[in-house]
Amino acid sequence: MTVTTGVRARLYVDQALDAGRSVDLSANQSHYLKHVLRLGPGAEVALFNGKDGEWRARIETIRRNAGSLGVETQIRPQITEPDLWLLFAPIKRARLDMLVQKAVELGVSRLVPVLTERTEVKRLNADRHRSNLIEAAEQCERMTLPEIVEPRPILDVLSDFPTGRRLLVCAERGHAAPINQILEDDTGEADRCAILCGPEGGFAETELDAFQKLSFIRFVSLGPRILRAETAAISAVTCWQAALGDWRRRPPDRDST
Amino acid sequence: MTVTTGVRARLYVDQALDAGRSVDLSANQSHYLKHVLRLGPGAEVALFNGKDGEWRARIETIRRNAGSLGVETQIRPQITEPDLWLLFAPIKRARLDMLVQKAVELGVSRLVPVLTERTEVKRLNADRHRSNLIEAAEQCERMTLPEIVEPRPILDVLSDFPTGRRLLVCAERGHAAPINQILEDDTGEADRCAILCGPEGGFAETELDAFQKLSFIRFVSLGPRILRAETAAISAVTCWQAALGDWRRRPPDRDST
């Protein structure tokens, strides 16, 4: 019942983690540890790379733009996280940043930007989103980085959609069943899922008609109010995680580490 | 299956609504209709006041800072919305604005800012939040404005907490049951509920000890990742609405109006 943590900083690295290895810090990481957290040699840092679990490391050397950590012991083994994709139409910058951050916190495994007829934002700044993803994953104590792919037209994405993956389409208008009802009915085939949220103006008729021909799609309803695009995405991912995802697990207990 | 709406603008007013009445526009509303939406006399506007349902009105006169609408016919009768309170520790401005906006979209009926040991933000700008509430309610086609009350210390709020209202406390650490499990078990007494989300640093030991003595409290878990305060609030409200709230209803069908 305490929030005290054994380690103050938690960083994603793309290097292998194992006892006795030395890991290099990027310029940003060095700056963050030295000047934001004011840590020096000997201070503890938690590391994860999405593959080797979470490790306790200790600062060996640290300068303004570089540094190194010595990897000591594993805190947590790598775990398998839910396989949930989020397909979303890019929206304006502040809302999109928020959507990406929340998707990471809520455990989305792959972010798939899709272009629809009414999508007004056509491009993503890959570097900014990658920084955003990393920061959110570090903060929420997640063990992986979700993947983010290049934007593609929605009908292209659906035309080569993988076999065996269910797609829940959040639909404000037309026939749709309450999301929890769909999730309750769907437990047998829930291993791999995707959620699709449209742009602010909703989907076009032609898009909805195309969706209806696809057997892997279910239309889900998120209640009587018109949700903004990012709210719909956050809410739908929440419902899936709570019903079928990993929400029966608890955050790691850092008191015992 | 179309998003075409019969009315382009939707405004909250604090005046009575009935056929044949005239309603005055505020300076902001006049500016919005005239200069943002570029509407003139004769244009249709939807109005709601939280009591009399939603009405179609028509611009009678409009100037830069004033104007009037003639109320014509009721589009939707007033409906009863779920009785769900959200107790939250104020957080920094951008995240708090987002939290308030999403709480409105997701149908919270009362926003209760609470001060906890680790709450860093102690005051709310009431005027800004009221504008935010109104804008969100207009946008999401909600029929009411949620109430927002003055910040009070959490233990004071709990000491005069109303009889018969369940309080779900989102707890990252310590014993808590998955939120959907609590909601499934709780269907018999779900009419009035409240959700409490703590500040970024979590609750203090003394607060958690005090909570545990209160019979109306249930500790709920939102999965294995550490959610930011506003994400926890949005997710918990979502789970409640999807399981016990009004998410079995659909948005109003404006095609038929």
- For A203, the token pair is 């989907």
Between positions 81 and 110 of A, the ones with CB within 8 A of B are: 98, 101-102, 105-107
Say whether pLDDT at A132 is over 90.
Answer: yes
Report all structural domains of chain A as residue ranges with CATH numbers, in order of start: 9-76 (2.40.240.20), 83-243 (3.40.1280.10)
Residue A222: helix, strand or coil by DSSP?
A: coil
Put simply, the answer to whether B174 touches A228 (Cβ < 8 Å) is no
Interface membership of B7 toward A (CB under 8 Å): no
Using a CB-CB cut-off of 8 Å, the residues of chain A touching B176 are: 250
Interface membership of A36 toward B (CB under 8 Å): no
Put simply, the answer to whether B208 touches A1 (Cβ < 8 Å) is yes
Which residues, in sequence order, are CB contacts of A29 under 8 Å at separation 6+? Answer: A11, A67
Interface membership of A243 toward B (CB under 8 Å): yes
Q: Where are the beta strands (DSSP E) in chain B?
A: 9-12, 22-25, 44-48, 54-62, 67-76, 83-88, 110-115, 147-148, 152-153, 166-170, 177-178, 192-197, 217-221
Shortest CB distance from B98 goes to which of A98, A140, A174? A98
- Distance (Å) from the alpha carbon of A220 to chain B's nearest alpha carbon: 10
Separation CA A38–CA A138 (nearest Å)? 18
Terminus-to-terminus CA distance in chain B, angstroms? Answer: 15
The partner residues of B220 in beta bridges, in order of sequence, read B170, B177
- For A17, the token pair is 């983690």
Which residues, in sequence order, are CB contacts of B111 under 8 Å at separation 6+? Answer: B85, B86, B88, B100, B103, B129, B133, B146, B147, B148, B149
Which chain A residue is nearest to residue B175, measuring alpha carbons?
A: A1
For the entire predicted model, the pTM comes to 0.93
Using a CB-CB cut-off of 8 Å, the residues of chain A touching B180 are: 242-243, 247
Contacts 24+ apart (CB under 8 A), A24-32: A24/A66, A24/A67, A24/A68, A25/A62, A25/A66, A25/A67, A25/A68, A25/A69, A27/A64, A27/A65, A27/A66, A29/A67, A30/A62, A30/A63, A30/A64, A30/A65, A30/A66, A30/A67, A31/A64, A31/A65
Average pLDDT, chain B: 91
Interface pTM, i.e. ipTM: 0.92
Separation CA B240–CA B238 (nearest Å)? 5
The residue type of A133 is: L
User: Are the CB atoms for A34 and B204 separated by under 8 Å?
Assistant: no
- For B18, the token pair is 């009935």
For residues B59-78, give the mean pLDDT: 96
Q: Backbone phi, then psi, for B204, in 5-degree steps? A: -80, 160
Put simply, the answer to whether B253 touches A173 (Cβ < 8 Å) is yes
Burial (CB count <10 Å: 0-12, 13-18, 19+), residue B209: exposed
| Nearest one of A137, A149, A148, A76 to A107, comparing CA atoms | A137
pLDDT 10s digits, A133-164: 999 999 999 999 999 999 999 999 999 999 99
Shortest CB distance from B1 goes to which of A173, A242, A249? A173
Using a CB-CB cut-off of 8 Å, the residues of chain B touching A174 are: 1
The stretches of chain B forming alpha helices (DSSP H) are 27-31, 93-105, 126-140, 154-159, 179-185, 205-212, 229-244
Looking at residue A3, what is its pLDDT?
A: 36
Q: Backbone phi, then psi, for A160, in 5-degree steps? A: -115, 35
Put simply, the answer to whether A179 touches B139 (Cβ < 8 Å) is no
Query: In the block, which residue shows the tokens 């269907």?
Result: B187
Q: Count contacts between A and B (CB, < 8 Å).
A: 154
User: Are the CB atoms for B40 and B59 separated by under 8 Å?
Assistant: yes
When pLDDT is cut at 50, 70 and 90, the band that residue A73 belongs to is very high
Say whether pLDDT at A244 is over 80.
Answer: yes
pLDDT 10s digits, B121-139: 888 888 889 999 999 999 9
Looking at residue B238, what is its pLDDT?
A: 98
User: Are the CB atoms for A243 and A184 separated by under 8 Å?
Assistant: yes
Put simply, the answer to whether B178 touches A247 (Cβ < 8 Å) is yes
Q: Where are the beta strands (DSSP E) in A104-244?
A: 110-115, 147-148, 152-153, 166-170, 177-178, 192-197, 217-221
Separation CA B186–CA A191 (nearest Å)? 28
Looking at residue A6, what is its pLDDT?
A: 52
When pLDDT is cut at 50, 70 and 90, the band that residue A7 belongs to is low
Using a CB-CB cut-off of 8 Å, the residues of chain A touching B98 are: 98
Say whether pLDDT at A78 is over 50.
Answer: yes
Shortest CB distance from B241 goes to which of A140, A173, A223? A223
Put simply, the answer to whether A241 touches B223 (Cβ < 8 Å) is yes
Count of helices and strands (H, E) across chain A: 7, 13
pLDDT 10s digits, A19-42: 999 999 999 999 999 999 999 999
User: Are the CB atoms for B203 and B116 separated by under 8 Å?
Assistant: yes
Put simply, the answer to whether A179 touches B3 (Cβ < 8 Å) is no
pLDDT 10s digits, B17-64: 999 999 999 999 999 999 999 999 999 999 999 999 999 999 999 998
Interface membership of B174 toward A (CB under 8 Å): yes
Put simply, the answer to whether B224 touches A251 (Cβ < 8 Å) is yes
Average pLDDT, chain A: 91
Separation CA B188–CA B4 (nearest Å)? 39
Looking at residue A256, what is its pLDDT?
A: 42
Interface membership of A190 toward B (CB under 8 Å): no
CA A200 vs. chain centroid, Å, equals 21
